Amino acid sequence: MGGESYTSPAIFEAEQEHVLEAMWFCAVRSGDLAHPGAFRKIQVGRESVLVVRGRDHELRAFLNVCRHRGAMLCTEDEGQVRRNLRCPYHAWTYGLDGKLVAAPNMASLKDASGRDIDRVEFGLVPVALREWLGYAWVCLADDPPSFEAEVMGAITERLGDPTAIDNYRIDQLEVGRRVVYDVAANWKLIVENFMECYHCATIHPELTEVLPEFKDGLAAQYFVGHGAEFGSDVSGFTIDGSAGFETLPGVAPEQDRKYYAITVRPTVFVNLVPDHIIFHRMYPMAHDRTIVECDWLYTEDVIAEGRDVSRSVELFHRVNEQDFDACERTQPAMSSRAYRHGGVLVPAEHHIAEFHNWIVGKLGNSGNEGGE
Amino acid sequence: MGGESYTSPAIFEAEQEHVLEAMWFCAVRSGDLAHPGAFRKIQVGRESVLVVRGRDHELRAFLNVCRHRGAMLCTEDEGQVRRNLRCPYHAWTYGLDGKLVAAPNMASLKDASGRDIDRVEFGLVPVALREWLGYAWVCLADDPPSFEAEVMGAITERLGDPTAIDNYRIDQLEVGRRVVYDVAANWKLIVENFMECYHCATIHPELTEVLPEFKDGLAAQYFVGHGAEFGSDVSGFTIDGSAGFETLPGVAPEQDRKYYAITVRPTVFVNLVPDHIIFHRMYPMAHDRTIVECDWLYTEDVIAEGRDVSRSVELFHRVNEQDFDACERTQPAMSSRAYRHGGVLVPAEHHIAEFHNWIVGKLGNSGNEGGE
Amino acid sequence: MGGESYTSPAIFEAEQEHVLEAMWFCAVRSGDLAHPGAFRKIQVGRESVLVVRGRDHELRAFLNVCRHRGAMLCTEDEGQVRRNLRCPYHAWTYGLDGKLVAAPNMASLKDASGRDIDRVEFGLVPVALREWLGYAWVCLADDPPSFEAEVMGAITERLGDPTAIDNYRIDQLEVGRRVVYDVAANWKLIVENFMECYHCATIHPELTEVLPEFKDGLAAQYFVGHGAEFGSDVSGFTIDGSAGFETLPGVAPEQDRKYYAITVRPTVFVNLVPDHIIFHRMYPMAHDRTIVECDWLYTEDVIAEGRDVSRSVELFHRVNEQDFDACERTQPAMSSRAYRHGGVLVPAEHHIAEFHNWIVGKLGNSGNEGGE
């Protein structure tokens, strides 16, 4: 993939349209929005989207734009309203289900045919939403692709067995730590970095200590169903290899003492270890900027008992920092003539070529907009 | 008006060319430049313009560019020169009337025909200027439109009577307070906000206390000649409704205890109340940034006696802050697909449609430059 | 030259391609890289270039991009490696001569024909390099132009005699002081400023005190072989005209007590005085930003003895600040309609027209990219 793919604002805009706004996008941890009226504002492609817990306890998503004159309904990143979403400009007021419930002089408002305006038609613009693994996934497409095929299917394709992920009961876990990274690199560099382990020996000393096979450079994702085994002297997936927590209740014996990494395109990485989950969501903001939100998930008991998660958090937090440093060092060179036609994919990276082909296919002709 | 109209740099550039540089633009309070050599530098469309008081006490305007090698003559926002405008790069020196009066080795400078260079032809590029209401209005057009029709006519159209504005003798008032606002919003959002009062009940509690009819949402500008009446328990146009100053000498009985708001396109708002004037000038700087300079004007006596203007200033200063907050909250959502074809104009806002048509007409085909 | 030439990003990009990346570009003082493994990273047009001292003590230049996946090899501006340049992402390792010497799993790396990969073909991309006057000059062109004609020829053309520059033995001098200026102006404004002295009387009081003929406004560069003579009461090229150091060993009697200024297009200014050299290199970073690195060069003895260079540094440092201020004041006005077709070149500036023609010729049709 030529360097322009990482530096062209026009290609990024094509990706916003044909990838980020067209596919299922992992938006928010459902449990973050515990009570009716809790909301979170997120960026999906070029759109600001609100995810809101309804009075019926359902999550729904809407474009964060008042139908009247276009003010942003919510400018805070997250918050809690009492009963309604009220636009602070002219007080158009929407139920948590998006319906227009009140507006000043509402009786005088008529549609083009002179009838009272329809409370649904003039309600907030809805965005498709599905919940899975304890996260709300949204899709801006008019006709969303199959969630089962695209999201669940990606995990099955990696793990080889559709039930393997269920063992971890990720939807029942709780967030023990969240770290947000603001990375000065194109989102595809972050995907590619996660897809290969040829760099592991060079930049991840702590990780390769825990997972010795990573020293060989073969990505954990390379073989269907393969998990990287803990070193024989390693007790747990922690910064110093010391013991972690009890193995998650449903985890199978063959999943124990193993690390699985899964990419769910376009913006999610799931990391499975026996006692916790590391879950990354990306928010691509510009051709050269990506916000990554990473959750460390533990059982309700671990959280309730206030047990110390810092040794397990520290391991992957270092990995994140090492990876994002590498991506930030790569981004500026993407504009060089030396990278005009891309670089070299060594054998351990050949599956990245498939990712490149996939992107090219998604963009179709629009990917040429920024071309020479 | 579709959201792109507020977010496209290309459309903003078309507006700079066909609106801001083509119409009369209110530049500066004449009284700010009291003495010969006093100047102010302002941004008009894409041009930096100097307004200067001449030795004959006339105001004149020039492009702020040396004719020789293009250095900016003045880089300060305002100042005072002694006799001339001297370019600090090569010392080309212009009289306050714009004529080239001196240059190093001037005797050796010849025009293309070998003649001594003409001091007017090589003088500063003049900009048309008219004074009215105590302000200097400039026009960058080669052939300026009729000041009487476009500027004075706008006020007559609103007030219904060409003499109504004269009663306030605005040119004889003095600046009691000036506040400059840097607003992260397109200038047209600020115009539209000023044109309607549907938002008043929601965001202007202090204003609607003084002007109770504003709670109903009908804009003061909606009816020719109509002024919004003070509440019966209101003594003056102040933050707490307490008494203001003496009614301005010329104000007619039917104008007393009333508020009139007038839009003079493209960038001026005039607010008339019995004892002072609130005068807004906008300087559109980018598609998403507008500087607004607001003057509170009082009689010479009020200023000379040092009377406390803070209660009257505070009322409209809060209104300004409330309005500009709303505009800033609206700007980011203009790029949403939900606003691609614009929003809804309720009955109290229908006259904004006329403003939209007017802009579209001004831009003609050039408005499509940034289009899809 | 119309104002757009200084404000258009598209024209700047054409200049990067057809001028900065096509000509010999003065990169770095050779003596800054004294030991094997010393490197400096510089910006040449759109490319990041490494200049590195080899184990054989030769200087070489490479694109600062790993051939594997495009990470920047060096992100620091300068530094020292021990034996190799090792990419910190995947540990591809290059010799100081650019050859690929090691990579993880290197034995498994094959080229498209299934052969072991070639260590030169997969080495760093080399950049042409020549040393002269103690500086390394690099050229990104596939087929670099003649160094003798373009670089040496420019100096001969100015001084009239190919041996005149040799007298100063510039390659044997040492850096006594270096000042880096970050100038908010197009690089061509800085060239034009250096090419004329019509501004000297206005902005350079200290310089014209030392070189009285500069008060007349004729550029030192205007006449072949001409040097500006020190004032009769001036002892040396210092801020106060006090004595400088001993005349450089090779300087001819007719060169003594004289100042010569030479422009070597596109980005170098050389200033010769009897006892030191002031050498400017520009790094054009954007259409409105140029970094200028200025070296004051003295004999090895002056440096070794720790003699006080501050009075000679101060003179041209002030000249630099005065000039760059003027350029920064000119840049913003380049977008004015008053400069659409450029300004006026007075007789003392007529040779700037030749520079304008030269640029237009370099850009050919590509200069129209940003045109109207």
By the 8 A CB rule, do A221 and A263 touch? Answer: yes
Alpha-carbon Rg for chain A in angstroms: 22
By the 8 A CB rule, do A271 and A316 touch? Answer: yes
Cβ distance of A330 and C69 shorter than 8 Å:
yes
Q: Does residue B294 sit in helix, strand or coil? A: strand
Q: What is the pLDDT of residues C170-223, one digit of tens each?
A: 999 999 999 999 999 999 999 999 999 999 999 999 999 999 999 988 766 667
CATH of the domain at C124: 2.102.10.10
The verdict on B185 and B265 lying in the same domain is: yes
The verdict on A265 and A326 lying in the same domain is: yes
The verdict on A304 and A274 lying in the same domain is: yes
Chain B residues with beta carbon closer than 8 angstroms to that of C217: 104-105
Cβ distance of A338 and C69 shorter than 8 Å:
no
Name the percent of chain B in helix, strand, coil, to the closest 5. Answer: 35, 25, 40
Q: What is the pLDDT of residues C322-332, one digit of tens each?
A: 999 999 999 99
Q: What is the pLDDT of residues C23-32, one digit of tens each?
A: 999 999 999 9
State the helix-helix crossing angle for C310-330 and C187-195, rounded to 10 degrees. Answer: 120
Phi, psi of C332 (to 5 degrees): -65, -25
Note the pLDDT of residue A371.
37
Is A3 within a domain? no
The verdict on C346 and C209 lying in the same domain is: yes
Cβ distance of B89 and C336 shorter than 8 Å:
no
| pTM score | 0.93
Which of A63, A69, A105 is opposite residue B343, by nearest beta carbon?
A69
Residue C326, chain B, CB below 8 Å: the answer is yes
Q: How is residue A26 annotated by DSSP? A: E
In whole angstroms, give the CA distance from residue C359 to residue C341.
16
The verdict on B190 and B113 lying in the same domain is: no
Which domain range does residue C257 map to? 161-367
Residue B181, chain A, CB below 8 Å: the answer is no
Is C5 within a domain? no
The verdict on B340 and B201 lying in the same domain is: yes
The verdict on B176 and B309 lying in the same domain is: yes
Is B9 within a domain? no
The verdict on B55 and B167 lying in the same domain is: no
CATH of the domain at B168: 3.90.380.10
Average pLDDT, chain C: 94
- Where is pLDDT greater, at A94 or B118? A94
What is the distance in angstroms between the Cα of B62 and the nearest Cα belonging to chain C?
10
ipTM confidence: 0.91
Query: How many other C-beta atoms can be found within 10 angstroms of the C-beta atom of residue A126?
Result: 13
Residues 44-103 (B) with a CB less than 8 A from some CB of C: 46-48, 63-72, 75, 88-91, 103
Q: Which of A107, A139, A171 is where one domain is finished?
A: A139
What is the distance in angstroms between the Cα of B14 and the nearest Cα belonging to chain C?
14
Domain count, chain C: 2
Structure tokens at C101: 């010497």
Residues 273-302 (B) with a CB less than 8 A from some CB of C: none
pLDDT band with cut points at 50, 70 and 90 for residue B75: very high
Structure tokens at A108: 């005088």
The secondary structure element, H or E, covering residue A9 is helix A9-15
By the 8 A CB rule, do C53 and C96 touch? Answer: yes
The verdict on B205 and B343 lying in the same domain is: yes
Q: What is the pLDDT of residues A165-213, one digit of tens each?
A: 999 999 999 999 999 999 999 999 999 999 999 999 999 999 999 999 9
In whole angstroms, give the CA distance from residue B8 to residue B183.
17
Q: Is a pLDDT exceeding 70 seen at residue C367? A: no
Chain C residues with beta carbon closer than 8 angstroms to that of B103: 346
CA dist list (Å): C232 to C216, C235, C244, C247? 16, 8, 15, 17
Q: Which of C92, C115, C132 is where one domain is finished?
A: C132
Chain C residues with beta carbon closer than 8 angstroms to that of B48: 332-333, 336
Note the pLDDT of residue C303.
97
Tokens 């708002």 map to which residue?
B269
The verdict on B223 and B338 lying in the same domain is: yes
Q: Which of A80, A111, A139 is where one domain is finished?
A: A139
Cβ distance of C198 and B90 shorter than 8 Å:
yes
Is A82 within a domain? yes
By the 8 A CB rule, do B128 and B61 touch? Answer: yes
Chain C residues with beta carbon closer than 8 angstroms to that of A339: 65, 70
Cβ distance of A89 and B203 shorter than 8 Å:
yes
Beta bridge partners of B126: B62
Query: How many other C-beta atoms can be found within 10 angstroms of the C-beta atom of residue A134?
Result: 20
Q: What is the pLDDT of residues C67-117, one digit of tens each?
A: 999 999 999 999 999 999 999 999 999 999 999 999 998 888 877 777 888
DSSP secondary structure letters along B21-60 = TTS-EEEEEGGGS-STTEEEEEEETTEEEEEEE-TTS-EE
